[in-house]
Structure 1
């Protein structure tokens, strides 16, 4: 009888925790999932709930989870994704040496050669003069898997437009997003009561231009500043951080440095059969997340090596589906700089 009472109390506490987290989170925008992040955050939440439900001893006080990255162009959405607590990386998370990152036993990796070519192409883009009172505009199509049923159920392909404020901040309203005719605000990152400043959580053009353009220095910065998830390998977190930054309005020097920095991350490889959400085939760069059993691919145009989009899918059988199950897919259609949120650009460009 006592055991049943303890289990009942543990389950009630767990339900109360989840309800409190849901109450604190902002209302989610109705748009496609941000690439591979949905699977990771959902898995971590489920593990915490499962643990709490079987616990038979008093639980220590836990910090409420918070989103790791609220990048405007890939804002967390579809049900309000819940994540584990975020901490800043320490010196122990510094990347490996250049020699071990860039080369294997057979010399330069094919992915390094391809990323160097992509870097050169990105560096030839035009630098823009973006004012602090303007907005970065992105139009893309995408879809993502809903995991609430316990299985990956891929939703319909939807087109989303995003207007991201360029003021350095801190800002409480980061811009707006429009999907299927419905326009919603992008709020400050959860926990930023005074607003979210420009940075990894809100990469303005001016902030991106301030980053080191030396790949070594840039990669060291990303390993130190990229938010950390409990249980996920550091190399994958930094790879995903770079993937969240590329594909929009960006200084060419920064884009070039990001791709060369990505080439230094262990485990990065080519993906010859890569394609985006609307079926555009191209050359790809991928990395396997061994913790969660997913593969993330970035897709680039075969002709000019511009960024087309990304997708993520299972590479092993999991509770959500069999290997090959799609988790998310995006296709960047256009980006530009405009004067007002909600304004359609007169001309657009691809990455």
Structure 2
């Protein structure tokens, strides 16, 4: 048992400055101070942005699930108690917003890159110029107009939204960013309207896993920002001001993330899949109203496709998030996040996360890719 020094008033503690105290009492006072310091918890380090925290929490929980499943297999084989129980699998952190870490999550002058080839060739200083807002708003207006020309789809409740993407991300478990290889990831998101415990499927490296309800959703995850079904997206306000107000209201407050960045990341999390044209158009116009949004005339996605980009710097965490678009038809190509200054996680230019959207469609069955995707 640890002994804590307690006292009802300050006179109960030996004073090092009191000449009546002996040297032994002074040494005991030093020992008391050291003991109290040892018992106190260490200072809490500044946390990760909310999306990144969830990302790494889910990675950890999935690793725990795999370890538990492996131990159960060994126990079953040794004791012959029959088949092991199904393992609990949490929603994977794929296609999350390339956040300004972010995760989530995902480039402009002066800092030379120190990492991989998929990171941008230059990095920003993190300083915003008010003049940058007009080019960003003009570009987002063009992107919005192009998105609004698409055809609305009829998506049934029994169907799935399919997305195939190439993904790369940094693992921060060690305290430093360790960038993963590029991975092919497929997902099938259920369009059932009610709260669900099984949200769909994901496939990576030949392994198909269920997407379970979000952490904490004991009654299932309902439609919403964390499970954006086509029907839910269609219900969002199409007036940019009302939509932006709605997103600010629905994005939780956090002491660990810039408010504007959190909403920017929320919009980013909705991009890259099947979406009602009017909703897509409104989202881009709403994004233009977020402070700090800038335009990049040239950027590349994870596969090397060159486009134009909309970006925002999270100055709190020293990371920039980019949305990359085809320069001809303004199709969303992907997103990436990287450090624009040296931080505890790595040097300026270090890639935090990136994704490139390869295909998306509406399909009738989870686990089955559309023909066009199978042929590519």
**TM-score, structure 2 length as denominator?**
0.69
Query: Does the alignment pair 1:276 with 2:301?
Result: yes
State the distance in 2 between where 1:22 and 1:303 align: 39
Distance 1:2 1:300, change over 3 A: same
Who is 1:129 aligned against?
154
Deviation at 1:31, TM superposition (A): 6.4
2:100–2:313: 8 Å Cα contact kept in structure 1? no
Deviation at 1:39, TM superposition (A): 3.8
Aligned partner of 1:187 among 212, 215, 219: 212
Whose radius of gyration is greater, 1 or 2? 2
2:202–2:209: 8 Å Cα contact kept in structure 1? yes
State the distance in 2 between where 1:274 and 1:200 align: 27
Q: Tell me the number of residue pairs that the alignment of Structure 1 and Structure 2 aligns.
A: 284
Q: Secondary structure at the match of 2:275?
A: coil
State the distance in 2 between where 1:302 and 1:200 align: 28
Distance 1:130 1:35, change over 3 A: closer
Query: Does the alignment pair 1:337 with 2:362?
Result: yes
1:265-313 deviations in Å (ceiling 9; x for gaps) = 1110101221111111101000000111100000000111000000000
State the distance in 2 between where 1:33 and 1:205 align: 16
State the distance in 2 between where 1:36 and 1:346 align: 28
Larger relative contact order (C-alpha < 8 A, sep ≥ 6)?
A: 2
Q: Secondary structure at the match of 1:177?
A: strand
State the distance in 2 between where 1:105 and 1:320 align: 29
State the distance in 2 between where 1:330 and 1:256 align: 22
Who is 2:315 aligned against?
290
Aligned partner of 2:145 among 120, 137, 162: 120
1:115–1:263: 8 Å Cα contact kept in structure 2? yes
Aligned partner of 1:153 among 172, 178, 202: 178
Who is 2:230 aligned against?
205
Q: Secondary structure at the match of 1:296?
A: strand
Who is 1:263 aligned against?
288
1:94-149 deviations in Å (ceiling 9; x for gaps) = xxxxxxxxxx9769700000000000100111111000111100000010111122
1:313–1:326: 8 Å Cα contact kept in structure 2? yes
Q: Secondary structure at the match of 1:243?
A: helix
Q: 1:303-314 counterparts in 2 under 5 A?
A: 303-314=328-339
1:31–1:158: 8 Å Cα contact kept in structure 2? no
Deviation at 1:231, TM superposition (A): 3.1
Q: Secondary structure at the match of 1:198?
A: coil
1:35–1:311: 8 Å Cα contact kept in structure 2? no
Please, which runs of 5 or more residues in structure 2 have no aligned partner? 1-30, 45-55, 63-89, 106-128
Who is 1:242 aligned against?
267
Who is 1:99 aligned against?
none
Q: Secondary structure at the match of 1:163?
A: strand
State the distance in 2 between where 1:228 and 1:243 align: 18
Who is 1:221 aligned against?
246
State the distance in 2 between where 1:6 and 1:173 align: 48
Q: Secondary structure at the match of 1:219?
A: helix
Aligned partner of 2:96 among 34, 38, 49: 34
Please, which runs of 5 or more residues in structure 1 have no aligned partner? 15-20, 42-68, 75-103
State the distance in 2 between where 1:30 and 1:200 align: 16
State the distance in 1 between where 2:172 and 2:144 align: 35
Distance 1:5 1:33, change over 3 A: farther
Aligned partner of 1:300 among 325, 331, 338: 325
Query: Does the alignment pair 1:139 with 2:164?
Result: yes
